[in-house]
């Protein structure tokens, strides 16, 4: 006969999570049925967003013609040229950028345990921007290819610098120190970018289109070059995912649970910088997507970091493509997607700050 005590006993030998964390898990967790429905539903939504992005544009092309263009391409037809020359590159860019920024956002929120964090908070955007400006101004690097490499390298340098600043002194790189270092670094880099663009007309022109955050890419080439970086970022995020739920409980507890903190953080940083640097290089700094998407997903599936990361990779493209299509429908000449996400994102941010319940990690 097994004693009821015996079955309860082993659990008691494990460290007990703090009361508030347990409570949070119980409050925000969703029933399994929602987790089962969420992936196919989001997948379907993504397919709809992709189709909308391919069909909606300045030139009116019927969905049938779009399918024709994709399946039996005839490049002597102008509509087919437009589908392949404009809509496919833009859609691929939207999917890559959306997935990368959303996953980077989920990673940075989990790592810093800061529900209001965004990839911008680690100075990634600012580092990429200053590198692009400096590349144009000092080295005469023009064109999308040069811009891409400048942005990725800038994002890496920014992250390393922020980590070094944040980890200096006693206690190492704790989330608050890291966040502060990121914000301070971003402020300095933004000032530098402004100075460069004020002093150099060519840099000013190059930054003007890029800094608005636009999917109007010039051909698919630059996006394809950035895709490996996005892929590395997503893989690193997947590798880090299993540690993140424990890290959300605090460093001490995570260590006690056997999480290799340094390795988890390095994986997370790798994911954030490669994914976000590449996304920023493709489309410029697009704000709020990295903030909004993980929150929405967390609200749907509860605080399980694996689910949040995976579903963010689906929901990010939905949001970016949706915002881009919205901009094309609502304004005659279209509008940079970064402007639309800012319009959508700012009210969401305010709502989140006011109702703390949805933003618990």
Partner 1 sequence: MQRRRFLTLSSLSGLSVLGLAACSGSESASEQDPGPGGEQAFSFTPANYDGVTISLDQAPVRIVADIYSAAALQPYGIEPVGVFGFGATGSGKGDLDLDALNVLGLEGELSLEKLAAAAPDLIIGVGNQEGTGWTWWEDEVRDQATEVAPFLPIRMGGTPPEMIQEYRALAQALGADSDGSEIATAEEDFNAARERLRTVTGQKPDLTVLAFNTTGDVIYTSTTLGVLNMLAEDGVALVGPEAPEESSWAEVSWESIADYPADVILQAETSVGYEENPLWLSLPAVEADQIGTWDDKRAYTYVAQTAWLNELAAVLEDSERIIP
Residue 84 binds partner 1, judged by CB under 8 A: yes
Q: Which stretch binds partner 1 (CB under 8 A): 31-39, 80-88, 286-294, 316-324?
A: 80-88
Instruction: Between 61 and 236, name the residue whose CB sits nearer to partner 1.
Output: 61
Neighbours of 168 (CB within 10 A): 12
Instruction: Between 15 and 142, name the residue whose CB sits nearer to partner 1.
Output: 142
Give least dist CB 214 to partner 1, A: 7
Residue 36 binds partner 1, judged by CB under 8 A: no
Q: Cα–Cα distance between 80 and 86 in angstroms, integer? A: 10
Please pick, from the candidates 49, 95, 144, 300, the single residue that binds partner 1 as defined by CB under 8 A: 144
Q: Could you say which DSSP state residue 248 is in?
A: T
Residue 48 binds partner 1, judged by CB under 8 A: no
Instruction: Between 284 and 287, name the residue whose CB sits nearer to partner 1.
Output: 284
Q: Cα–Cα distance between 316 and 101 in angstroms, integer? A: 7
Distances (CA, A) of 135 to 126, 128, 175, 195, 203: 14, 10, 31, 14, 8
Instruction: Between 195 and 262, name the residue whose CB sits nearer to partner 1.
Output: 195
Identify whether the C-beta of residue 282 lies closer than 8 Å to the C-beta of residue 149: no
Pattern 293-332, binding to partner 1, x per CB under 8 A? ----------------------------------------
Neighbours of 2 (CB within 10 A): 6
- Look at residue 53 and give its three-state secondary structure: helix
Q: Tokens 């039996």 sit at which residue? A: 72
Please pick, from the candidates 54, 55, 82, 122, the single residue that binds partner 1 as defined by CB under 8 A: 82
Give the closest residue to 300 by CA, choosing from 39, 118, 119. Answer: 39
Give least dist CB 217 to partner 1, A: 9
Residue 81 binds partner 1, judged by CB under 8 A: yes
Neighbours of 301 (CB within 10 A): 22
Q: Cα–Cα distance between 289 and 291 in angstroms, integer? A: 5
Residue 114 binds partner 1, judged by CB under 8 A: no
What residues numbered 192-231 form the site for partner 1, per CB under 8 A? Answer: 194, 198, 201-202, 204-205, 209, 214, 216, 218-221
Please pick, from the candidates 18, 63, 143, 347, the single residue that binds partner 1 as defined by CB under 8 A: 143
Give least dist CB 207 to partner 1, A: 11
Residue 262 binds partner 1, judged by CB under 8 A: no
Q: Cα–Cα distance between 324 and 31 in angstroms, integer? A: 33
Give least dist CB 72 to partner 1, A: 18
Q: What is the secondary structure of 257-322 as a DSSP string? A: TT--HHHHHHHHHHHHHHHHHHHHHHH----SHHHHHHHHHHHHH-S-HHHHHHHHHHHHHHHHHH
Give least dist CB 212 to partner 1, A: 9
Residue 246 binds partner 1, judged by CB under 8 A: no
Binding site for partner 1 (CB under 8 A): 57-59, 75, 78, 81-82, 84-86, 89, 142-144, 194, 198, 201-202, 204-205, 209, 214, 216, 218-221, 333-334
């Amino acid at each position: 006969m097994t004693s009821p005590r015996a079955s309860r006993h082993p659990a008691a030998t494990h460290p007990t999570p703090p009361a508030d964390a347990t409570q949070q898990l119980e409050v925000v967790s969703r029933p399994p049925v929602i987790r089962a429905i969420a992936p196919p539903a989001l997948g379907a939504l993504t397919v709809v967003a992709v189709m909308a992005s391919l069909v909606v544009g300045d030139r009116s092309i019927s969905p049938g013609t779009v399918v024709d263009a994709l399946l039996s391409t005839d490049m002597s037809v102008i509509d087919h040229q437009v589908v392949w020359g404009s809509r496919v590159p833009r859609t691929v860019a939207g999917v890559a950028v959306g997935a990368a920024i959303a996953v980077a956002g989920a990673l940075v929120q989990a790592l810093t345990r800061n529900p209001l964090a965004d990839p911008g908070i680690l100075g990634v955007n600012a580092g990429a921007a200053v590198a692009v400006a400096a590349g144009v101004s000092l080295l005469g690097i023009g064109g999308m290819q040069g811009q891409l490499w400048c942005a990725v390298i800038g994002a890496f340098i920014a992250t390393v610098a922020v980590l070094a600043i944040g980890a200096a002194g006693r206690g190492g790189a704790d989330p608050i120190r890291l966040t502060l270092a990121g914000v301070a670094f971003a402020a300095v880099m933004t000032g530098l970018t402004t100075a460069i663009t004020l002093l150099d007309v060519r840099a000013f022109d190059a930054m003007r289109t890029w800094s608005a955050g636009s999917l109007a890419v010039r051909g698919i080439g630059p996006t394809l070059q950035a895709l490996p970086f996005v892929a590395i970022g997503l893989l690193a995020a997947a590798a880090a995912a299993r540690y993140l739920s424990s890290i959300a409980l605090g460093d001490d507890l995570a260590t006690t649970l056997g999480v290799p903190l340094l390795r988890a953080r390095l994986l997370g940083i790798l994911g954030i910088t490669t994914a976000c640097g590449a996304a920023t290089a493709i489309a410029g700094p697009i704000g709020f997507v990295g903030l909004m998407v993980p929150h929405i997903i967390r609200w749907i599936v509860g605080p399980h970091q694996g689910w949040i990361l995976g579903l963010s990779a689906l929901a990010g493209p939905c949001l970016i493509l949706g915002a881009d299509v919205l901009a094309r429908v609502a304004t005659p000449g279209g509008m940079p997607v970064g402007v639309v996400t800012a319009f959508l994102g700012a009210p969401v941010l305010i709502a989140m700050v006011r109702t703390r319940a949805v933003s618990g990690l």
